Amino acid sequence: STMSGKVGVNWGELLSDKPDMIVKYRSAVMTCTHCQAVGDCKGWLAEHDNAPEAPEYCLNRELLGKLAAC
């Protein structure tokens, strides 16, 4: 997802190295579809080329933070 890339998570590489992570990827995608802050998220994505972490309202913030630190 775009948010993933902004915070340094490359799902392609991650899944290539650890195929079992597909479960976390699918979960993250499904979680994103339940977001109530789509407008804020689109604005944030447009304003950031990269960032140390996802915004506080991101439902995948904790997961992306852990994956980016790997």
Over residues 40-52, the pLDDT tens digits come to 999 999 999 999 9
Task: Evaluate if pTM is beyond 0.85.
Answer: yes
Residue (of 68, 32, 70, 67) closest to 50 by Cα position: 68
64: its two tokens: 């992306």
Give residue-wise pLDDT tens across range 3-49. Answer: 999 999 999 999 999 999 999 999 999 999 999 999 999 999 999 99
Instruction: Write the CA distances from 9 to 3, 30, 36, 70, integer angstroms.
Output: 9, 17, 22, 9
48: its two tokens: 């950031």
Cβ atoms 69, 14 nearer than 8 A: no
